Chains A and B, each alone.
Chain A
């Protein structure tokens, strides 16, 4: 299948080859490819929103409210005469921003907690994993709701709340991976060479955990988007006039019978994007998971 030399000359070359092979495998996997395209489209739309959007997302025109899709407003206007297409495009930025922030906050925390707990074992493991269990014991959306209610509504607090509910799963996965690799020969060899615990965790164990973590995080993104939309829908996430998709659905629900497009368009956007992340995650799992 590939003409690459199987004995790479340097560490960099090995890594590049691995990424190339993985990428190739992902592209050859139709489901993964669809997911990748959707996510790529989301990123592109988010970056170019101001250029793509025909109108400003908050520009109101009370005389042009509730206009059906077509003409100057391809996806119609909402109850305040704002262009829905422009709002959806700008909303992509918020959605992507939430996902990125949650991942940046939650994944490293989970990774460190899991690796440290798994590597050290003993009481460190017990304490860290029981804390993790406490967070896992609550349904995610409920915990996020409680946190936002306590901290006050707003997108920053929503991100923090979702991140707080997201890390325990990653800690669990990282710990499981750590347990399988901590007794392996290469870790022992590094330890015999005098590497410190922290160095061992950082250089030998963490890289071994990242594959399954990446898969899990990608699969989780759909959940993060839904949680964020759920919070927005309940008025606890992004605040008006922010074109956050969940909040858009919430405001459009009064019009579902007569002006279906106001709530349906953001609903479809959420559906497509979360489906995209799921498909990408599935594709990545096939590529990255050695046990697949």
Chain B
């Protein structure tokens, strides 16, 4: 009997597949270098005018400084960032800002009003995904030169189309998209009039506490502290973010000391690590929401009964208690807790009988089949499968289409999904950020300038859009919060959005790691106080 070695060895590969192996790596990360593991599959760009993903915005928050900084303790009063002082005139339409003195870019050049003006104009001219945050103030390429202009070296003026609530304006100017980019550096790398966009996708021209050393997509991102930073030197010399997408791998690396902090561990792993020696775990509230987006271009999902039925086909509490234990809480309104006016009622629970009755009313007693675009990370896939199972109880047959974050988002933004399951994080600390996304859709056409979440789901809502637009002009904070509660109820009752959970961040770190501040929003996750 002759055996060829090859054919006997072949099945052993199966065993190798079973053991998701971890390559042996160097032990403890060196002192002065902080190594963090994070799934960076959503990192598309590091250009503040383009980045609109959690990872990109977080990194930008550490590379750049913004005009204002959000203030979670008092959302109505953001703190000055690059802007030191400001005046409101012209009937609430004219904002004059003075730049803080002594700020310097990584190149050594001072931060001037010209740079701030350039950064805002650049966002409007490039018109990438986050541009709507600024264009909502009536800025467009034609009126830009008049509406945003420098008065002198350290003062500039922003003229809005209407008298918006002041808290909204200042909070908008705390979004990552208002990061101040060094004009000279961006223009030095300009190609075909792109205002340095291609270069800035992988380089930085900011004034933040860290500068970008290198971003190797799929591998790592290295940030070096700016030792003589005007805000004081960061506690750590270098931060390395390794793109590790497997939570299990993150866990092994953490236990071996290859990394100092793991960002993507699931609830089950946190439980298992709770007793491990030398490892501390903690959680922090997040403003991110888990939600389903139902594409209204799909004639079945466009029926109100179907939209309502699907709300009763999700085991919110069951998931929050098990697969999401400690990682999320049930939340069913578009404003996360921590925002003024957030609605805390959770009227929907799993009720297949009621859902079936609604589907029968819609003439869909036999159910229907749809696809669901899902980011293929373990947690999202678990939630998707749990939803798939409960939906099946009323004959809703969901086919899960997993893809990496970038792929799934690209499909969603092109309105090519049936159901999208994913996360939404606010862009700034004002209720309008989420109202603008969930309750506004000024133009449902395919080339709309305003591609909000409602637009992505093809939901034409002139009335709600008007209500959301009116709320931003309400100057009385209490009446303004009341308006947002009305909007939230409307969206809660009937919309293409099934809001599921508000997230919490679960973090595991080596003992001795200090100063990791996880923001309510990803643009407030800062590395400057990190130490180990």
Q: Which residues of A contact B (CB under 8 A)?
A: 29, 31, 58-60, 62-63, 65-66, 79-80, 153, 219, 222-223, 226, 229-230, 233, 235, 239-241, 246, 249, 251, 253-258, 263-264, 266-268, 270-271, 274-275, 278, 281-282, 286, 292
Q: Are A66 and B268 in contact (CB under 8 A)?
A: yes
Binary per-residue interface labels of chain B (231-267) against chain A in the complex, 1 for a CB within 8 Å, 0 otherwise: 0000000000000001110011000000000000010
Closest Cβ of chain A to B111, distance in Å, is 45
**Contact residue among B10, B12, B323, B384 (Cβ-Cβ distance under 8 Å from A223):** B10
Q: Are A222 and B251 in contact (CB under 8 A)?
A: no
> In the bound complex, what is the Cα–Cα distance between A229 and B11 (angstroms)?
11
Closest Cβ of chain B to A277, distance in Å, is 8
**Contact residue among A59, A63, A235, A286 (Cβ-Cβ distance under 8 Å from B376):** A235
**Contact residue among A254, A270, A282 (Cβ-Cβ distance under 8 Å from B268):** A254
Q: Contacts of B319 on A, CB cut-off 8 Å? A: 62
Binary per-residue interface labels of chain B (399-432) against chain A in the complex, 1 for a CB within 8 Å, 0 otherwise: 1111100000000000000000000000000000
Q: Contacts of B386 on A, CB cut-off 8 Å? A: 60, 62, 80
Q: Are B382 and A80 in contact (CB under 8 A)?
A: yes
Q: Which residues of B contact A (CB under 8 A)?
A: 1-3, 7-8, 10-15, 17-20, 246-248, 251-252, 266, 268-269, 272, 315, 318-319, 321-323, 376, 378, 381-382, 384-386, 388-389, 392, 399-403
> In the bound complex, what is the Cα–Cα distance between A278 and B6 (angstroms)?
10
Q: Are A254 and B11 in contact (CB under 8 A)?
A: no
Q: Are A80 and B14 in contact (CB under 8 A)?
A: no
Chain A, Cβ-Cβ closest to B13? A226
Given A153-B401, A254-B269, A282-B7, A62:B14 Cβ within 8 A: no
- Of B1, B18, B247, B400, which is in contact with the most chain A CB atoms at under 10 Å from its CB? B18
Q: Are A241 and B18 in contact (CB under 8 A)?
A: no
Q: Are A263 and B18 in contact (CB under 8 A)?
A: yes
Closest Cβ of chain A to B350, distance in Å, is 11
Q: Contacts of B385 on A, CB cut-off 8 Å? A: 60, 80, 240-241
> In the bound complex, what is the Cα–Cα distance between A229 and B384 (angstroms)?
22
Q: Are B272 and A29 in contact (CB under 8 A)?
A: no
Q: Are B10 and A274 in contact (CB under 8 A)?
A: yes
Chain A, Cβ-Cβ closest to B400? A240
Closest Cβ of chain A to B374, distance in Å, is 8
Q: Contacts of A29 on B, CB cut-off 8 Å? A: 1
Closest Cβ of chain B to A270, distance in Å, is 4
Given A29-B1, A65-B322, A253-B20, A226:B388 Cβ within 8 A: no
**Contact residue among A65, A239, A240, A274 (Cβ-Cβ distance under 8 Å from B14):** A274
Closest 4 CB pairs of A and B: A267-B18, A274-B11, A270-B14, A62-B322
> In the bound complex, what is the Cα–Cα distance between A105 and B479 (angstroms)?
69
**Contact residue among B2, B19, B266 (Cβ-Cβ distance under 8 Å from A256):** B19
Given A62-B323, A226-B10, A254:B17 Cβ within 8 A: no
Extra inter-chain contacts (17) besides given A230-B17, A274-B14, A275-B11, CB under 8 Å: A60-B385, A65-B322, A65-B323, A79-B323, A223-B10, A226-B14, A229-B17, A240-B388, A241-B385, A246-B17, A251-B381, A253-B20, A253-B246, A254-B269, A255-B268, A256-B20, A256-B248
Closest Cβ of chain B to A113, distance in Å, is 24
Closest Cβ of chain A to B324, distance in Å, is 10
